[in-house]
Amino acid sequence: MTDATHPSVAETRAARRVTLRHIADSAFLIIVIYLVMAVVYVAVQPSALSAYSIESLFNNSLPLMLAAAGATFVILQGGFDLSVAGTISLVNVVIATTPMEGPGGALALLALAVALGMAVGAINGIIVAYLRIQAIAATLATMIICQGIALLILKAPGGMVSDFMVYELTASLTDRVPYALVIAALGVVFWTIYSRTDAGRNLLAVGQDRKAAALSGINVQRTEFFSFVWAGAFYALAAYMLAAQTSTGNPSAGEPFLLLTFAAVALGGTAFGGGRGGVTASLFGAATLMLMQKVLFAMGVSSFYTGVIQGMIMITAVLFSAAVHHAASNRRGA
């Protein structure tokens, strides 16, 4: 062991590193970015704080948030899942073509939706984890297949979504706290617990170092498999809330989610390639993306050039989170 000539210095450096790392690892950064953006938004748009505005903002953001949460499971273990677009379309049309009224019906539909999402996820998982096909290509294929099935079920936008889902699920708890926010908060709670269970830890471990994880006794294939299953479940939730919000089914409902989901995950600071990040961060990443739409509108950025700003913000956010992470794990080079 090297002698620590200046233990106090070493200790403080280590301490600083620990706090920075906590910041870098947790969803702290993206939460700050989100809050800053929210403040800006409220400043330029005072009506933003009205109960209705808050409710509609969260209702609108929730599907993307859930989709990004799902994608995070796969990205954390180092994979890639393009099937998000297909799964959302598929589940969305199934919900819209399976009329079930009332709270009981909504619950039954929820179970059906999640089961379907998990089934798609399981197929992805089998193909990627057990047949060992490159994830990006395999999920591209399953995405296309899901879109095809969605078109078989519903040729054009339509179908019916029960009034309970359309009106109750998108309302607010005691007229103040949108259910959408409650669901997002449940997502945070879920991840906080899940990430501390063995399954959650294994997910991160596999993402950091597949080989070491395998040699540590982690069943890497099963971990990969279940990451896709969880992802499918969350995509299904996204599709479910999308159906509630838009009160309709659309065989191409999932298409806009394809790139936005990955943008949201990246914005949240989850590393592509795995091992670092989390669902909470992605939830906030997606919320930030949707809030950005609001802020840009409020700032009156010429709509032709909205994309320029969006692109810049994405790059900056990723650079920022990388910079903090770099400072946190300021280790010796190569």
Site for another protein in 184-223 (CB under 8 A): 193, 196-198, 201-202, 204-205, 208-209, 211-219
- Residues 76, 227 contacting (CB under 8 angstroms): yes
Q: What angle do CA 311, 35, 66 make, to 5 degrees?
A: 70
Tokens of 118: 């998990």
**Residue 158 lies near another protein (rule: CB under 8 A):** yes
d(CA 317, CA 267): 6
- Segment interacting with another protein, rule: CB under 8 A, options 57-65, 97-105, 113-121, 183-191: 57-65
Out of 35, 108, 189, 319, the residue judged to bind another protein by CB under 8 A: 319
Single-letter code of the amino acid located at 95: I
Choice between 236 and 267, CB closer to another protein: 267
Q: Does 157 bind another protein (CB under 8 A)?
A: yes
* Whole-number Å distance between alpha carbons of 197 and 70: 17
Whether residue 241 contacts residue 62, with contact meaning beta carbons closer than 8 Å, is answered with yes
* Residues 235 and 67 sit within 8 Å (Cβ to Cβ): yes
Using CB under 8 A, pick the residue from 35, 52, 103, 171 that binds another protein. Answer: 52
| 225, 235, 262, 284: residue in contact with another protein (rule CB under 8 A) | 262
CA 169, distance to chain mean position in Å, is 20
> How near is the Cβ of 145 to another protein at its closest, in Å?
4
Q: Which stretch binds another protein (CB under 8 A): 39-47, 100-108, 179-187, 227-235?
A: 39-47
Rounded to a whole number of angstroms, the minimum distance from the CB of residue 174 to another protein is 20
Backbone angles phi, psi at 314, to 5 degrees: -60, -50
Binding positions for another protein, 67-106, rule CB under 8 A: 82
Both tokens of 55, joined, read 């409710």
Q: Applying CB under 8 A, does 304 fall inside the site for another protein?
A: yes
Q: What is the dihedral of CA 119, 289, 31, 39, to 10 degrees?
A: -150
Interface residue with another protein among 114, 260, 283, 287 (CB under 8 A) is: 260
Span of 98-106, 108-116, 182-190, 306-314 interacting with another protein by CB under 8 A: 306-314
